[in-house]
Amino acid sequence: MLAGAVEQFRPGEKRCRRDKHQCICDRLMSESRTAAAFGINLPVYHSFSYGLDSDCQARIGQRYRLPFGNDFKIGILVELGAATAPEQTLKSAAEAIDNEATLSPHLIELATWLADYYCQPIGEVLFQFLPRYLRGRQPLKSVALESWTASPTADVDLEQLQRRAPRQYELLIHLRQHATGLTPGELRAIHPQWRTPMRTLHQRGLVTCTLCDPVSLQALDRDQPPELSQEQAGVVEGMSAELDGFHVHLLQGITGSGKTEVYLAAMQTVIERGGQVLYLVPEIGLTPQLFNRVQRRLGAVVVASHSAQTDYQRFQAWEQFRRGAAAVMLGTRSALLSDAPRLQLIVVDEEHDASYRQQDGVRYHARDVAIKRAQMLDLPVVLGSATPSTETLFNLARPHYRHHRLTRRPGTAQPPHLQLIDSSRVEMDHGCTPQLLQAIQQEVQRGGQVLLFLNRRGYAPVVMCHACGWQSVCHQCDARLTLHQSMQRLICHHCGYSEIVPDTCPQCGNADIHHHGVGTEKLQHFMQRRFESTPVVRIDRDSVSDARQMERLLQPVQAGEPCILIGTQMLAKGHDYPNITLAGIIDVDQALYSGFYRASERLAQIVVQVAGRTGRAERSGRALLQTAFPDHPLMQGLLQQDYEQLVDLIMQERRLVGFPPYLRAITITADAVTLDAAMQRLQTLRSVLVDAGIGADVQVIGPIPALMTRRVGRYRAQFSLLAADMRKLRRALALLLPGIQGASGGKRVKLVVEVDPIDL
């Protein structure tokens, strides 16, 4: 339940600075007032109580302007009538911004659940549900546009009109040339003062005006669906039987098996009965190609929401979906928080992708919130992946989960052939073994396409002086600075700090500074030198800022020309490269001995995904995996290419050491100016648990310094709570809440709670 905070109000004491004569804060306290709780976008765990006149038509989810200190803030009404103090003592909420609720009761319920489950501040959570455009004082409005057309039947003497009213004539001629209508923006381009002459034309019955949505179905050709393979058809049939009510359908299909066609078929079923669909994809997976494909196939209005859009574009998509004018919202993580009056299906593509977890601000996992939302609304959710996460595979044992498999590629396409290359006994050239270089040479000579996966951007990860041993390290983090040669800078990948590459050693003045290791930038230079006539394309966060740019870079790959494609894990995200016949996986060994408990799961996912990019069309592909540990069980498991077998191996390990998904976890991280302060704060919290006798059911690990202790100039320590039962964990967390929420320590120590964290 939301706790109400009360700011005492004494009539006459405080006066509104905006308007001394009609200040609503100074209004006499009437008897007929209701207490109301509001969420304000602040990092506090409670809502704020204000008084509302009983006769006003307040609605849950409505936005209000609230007096706050000497200023105003925007609040979202979450509860009516729950007074935490006598109504008369409450400050009056100033005014409603909109006449209607901005967030539906369902979204308020979902936000309240999210804030409670993930232990995040309620106001911040509520504001995540609003598009950025509405987080200030902008009123909520419809984004439908006027569309003006010439009345086809109206008869008019054009010559006379041209003589007597040239502006009306000009507008009419333009409208007659545009049968689908012109918007105010387009009319303004024809004539800045178009309103007045248009009004006259309207009065004379020569033009008509209709309201239409910015994305609508005008002139949309519908594509015929391709014929489904027997396997696809079987899955579609099985899924359609359970598209009512709460079910979690896991669609596990190998890369290239046509999962999207199955999603589209399920979406079609739901849209035909008047429903709306939320279709989530990972950050970089939302391409214009996918958008067009969905829109043309479904013949329905589809809106998109992603981070490359302006605030207003995102608001437009949000508003059309909220009004029910759009049938599908295609978007990244935060699109899940959009409202829809007739939501009947949620699709989460590449459900294992880490971008569904919000890592800063409000921490939640969009896949898990999608499942909760589907449960609340009693509707189905489809999770798709070639490499499902361990959590999802674990959850398959639950009664409402369904498992569907696609094991074959449609048509004649063959799955790739995977081979290990032992890199421990050979001389490497720029991170590549002679065997790999030879295979690339052969492929390029045959006019083929090659994909090289290297999960390290920049030129070189280590810059050092051989004379004195100096290394370039970040002065704010426990991390090295990576050399980015194209920018001539050393950059920290953790805090973004950068400096110019020094000419001489800053420590001893030696002019001979060396760089070691290979990043994507260095690999690109090397490949370009070695294979001069073949284009080399690089895909990483430095070369790609959004999906559109990625699509531009990938044009030669899509066109099927011979080329070498180099990239980080960005490459493995849902894009089709139909002509790649060789994949080289360069340096994955660090994952075998990483402190990150999910490293082996990630490695398995990446290798299976990257290998799966090859041989999509008629030609079979092969994937070469370089490792210095070819006998490691995980490497041997990868060789078998059976993802489920690999996951079994990983799960056995997790069960043995007692890690998720066998146990549930909550981590609490303290971030402070000294490591001591961070550790002490956590020790205090821990002692609360010890005093309460928690320990039998809940395992407490730590506090210990975090894996990367110093980051952005602050020191981090953490402790984890682990238990088989989430309810027990939550009981332990409840004991800690007063200590976490009481903001003692202020800016000196910052606490972050993560429920179901992706790392421990």
Contacts by 22-31, CB closer than 8 A, 24 or more apart: 24/92, 24/94, 24/95, 25/67, 25/91, 25/92, 25/94, 27/92, 29/88
- Cβ nearer to Zn ion, comparing 363 with 714: 714
- Give, in degrees to the nearest 5, the angle at Cα 226 between 225 and 227: 115
- Cβ nearer to Zn ion, comparing 510 with 594: 510
CB 118 within 8 A of CB 362: yes
Q: What is the DSSP letter of 378?
A: T
Rounded to whole angstroms, the Cα distance separating 584 from 220 reads 41
Residue ranges of E strands in 550-698? 563-567, 580-585, 622-627, 664-672
Q: Angle, to 10 degrees, between the axis of helix 599-611 and the axis of helix 643-657?
A: 180
**H helices present in 565-664, as ranges:** 599-611, 633-640, 643-657
For the chain, the maximum distance between any two Cα atoms, rounded to a whole number of angstroms, is: 94
The total number of residues written for the chain in this structure:
760
Binding part of the chain for Zn ion, among 125-133, 274-282, 464-472, 664-672 by CB under 5 A, reads: 464-472
CB of 358 to Zn ion, least distance (A): 22
Q: 544-574 burial, b if ≥16 CB within 10 A, otherwise e?
A: beebeebeebbeebeeeebbbbbbbbbbbbb
CB of 464 to Zn ion, least distance (A): 8
What is the total count of residues that contact Zn ion (CB under 5 A)?
15
CB of 493 to Zn ion, least distance (A): 8
CB of 568 to Zn ion, least distance (A): 19
| 621-to-254, 433, 537 alpha-carbon distances in Å | 14, 19, 19
Q: Record the tokens describing residue 23, joined without a space.
A: 């200040």
- Cβ nearer to Zn ion, comparing 372 with 494: 494
CB of 714 to Zn ion, least distance (A): 11
CB of 360 to Zn ion, least distance (A): 16
In the region spanning residues 190 to 249, those forming contacts with Zn ion, defined by CB under 5 A, are none
Of the residues 465, 550, 607, 634, which one makes contact with Zn ion according to CB under 5 A: 465
Q: Of 133, 51, 138, which is closest to residue 86 (Cα–Cα)?
A: 51
- Cβ nearer to Zn ion, comparing 510 with 741: 510
CA dihedral 569, 573, 575, 576 (to 10 degrees): 80
CB 384 within 8 A of CB 316: no
Rounded to whole angstroms, the Cα distance separating 724 from 661 reads 9
- Cβ nearer to Zn ion, comparing 477 with 721: 477
CB 586 within 8 A of CB 458: no
CB of 253 to Zn ion, least distance (A): 40
- Cβ nearer to Zn ion, comparing 218 with 471: 471
**H helices present in 219-258, as ranges:** 230-240
- Cβ nearer to Zn ion, comparing 457 with 575: 457
- Cβ nearer to Zn ion, comparing 458 with 637: 458
Binding part of the chain for Zn ion, among 265-273, 371-379, 458-466, 734-742 by CB under 5 A, reads: 458-466
Of the residues 468, 690, 704, 743, which one makes contact with Zn ion according to CB under 5 A: 468
Q: How many CB atoms lie within 10 A of CB 503?
A: 9
CB of 716 to Zn ion, least distance (A): 13
- Cβ nearer to Zn ion, comparing 396 with 508: 508
Q: Of 112, 126, 123, which is closest to residue 45 (Cα–Cα)?
A: 123
Binding part of the chain for Zn ion, among 109-117, 259-267, 460-468, 535-543 by CB under 5 A, reads: 460-468
Instruction: Please spell the DSSP secondary structure of 627-642, one letter per residue.
Output: ES-TTSHHHHHHHHT-
CB of 603 to Zn ion, least distance (A): 25
CB of 492 to Zn ion, least distance (A): 3
CB of 500 to Zn ion, least distance (A): 16
- Cβ nearer to Zn ion, comparing 507 with 545: 507
Does position 366 interact with Zn ion (CB under 5 A)? The reply is no
- Cβ nearer to Zn ion, comparing 209 with 508: 508
CB 498 within 8 A of CB 504: no
- Cβ nearer to Zn ion, comparing 450 with 505: 505
Single-letter code of the amino acid located at 550 = M
- Cβ nearer to Zn ion, comparing 467 with 701: 467
CB of 39 to Zn ion, least distance (A): 34
Q: What is the DSSP letter of 30?
A: -
CB 385 within 8 A of CB 248: no
CB of 456 to Zn ion, least distance (A): 16
CB of 746 to Zn ion, least distance (A): 24
- Cβ nearer to Zn ion, comparing 507 with 645: 507
Q: What are the backbone angles phi and psi of residue 41, rounded to the nearest 5°?
A: -70, 70
Does position 467 interact with Zn ion (CB under 5 A)? The reply is yes
CB of 750 to Zn ion, least distance (A): 18
In the region spanning residues 619 to 678, those forming contacts with Zn ion, defined by CB under 5 A, are none
Contact letters for Zn ion, residues 48-77 (x by CB under 5 A): ------------------------------
Tokens 């997790």 map to which residue? Answer: 654
CA dihedral 559, 561, 567, 572 (to 10 degrees): 50
- Cβ nearer to Zn ion, comparing 463 with 753: 463
- Cβ nearer to Zn ion, comparing 238 with 502: 502
Rounded to whole angstroms, the Cα distance separating 407 from 232 reads 10
CB 40 within 8 A of CB 75: yes
CB of 503 to Zn ion, least distance (A): 12
616 contacts: CB under 8 Å, gap ≥ 6: 256, 409, 413, 576, 577, 578, 579, 580
Binding part of the chain for Zn ion, among 95-103, 438-446, 459-467, 607-615 by CB under 5 A, reads: 459-467
Q: Record the tokens describing residue 658, joined without a space.
A: 């007692």
- Cβ nearer to Zn ion, comparing 466 with 529: 466
In the region spanning residues 469 to 528, those forming contacts with Zn ion, defined by CB under 5 A, are 470, 474, 476-477, 492, 494-495, 497, 505, 507-508, 510
Rounded to whole angstroms, the Cα distance separating 4 from 257 reads 52
CB of 499 to Zn ion, least distance (A): 11
Rounded to whole angstroms, the Cα distance separating 433 from 430 reads 9
CB of 505 to Zn ion, least distance (A): 3
What percent of the residues of the chain are helix, what percent strand, and what percent coil, each to the nearest 5? 35, 25, 40
Binding part of the chain for Zn ion, among 39-47, 114-122, 457-465, 527-535 by CB under 5 A, reads: 457-465
- Cβ nearer to Zn ion, comparing 491 with 610: 491
Q: Which residues bind Zn ion (CB under 5 A)?
A: 465, 467-468, 470, 474, 476-477, 492, 494-495, 497, 505, 507-508, 510
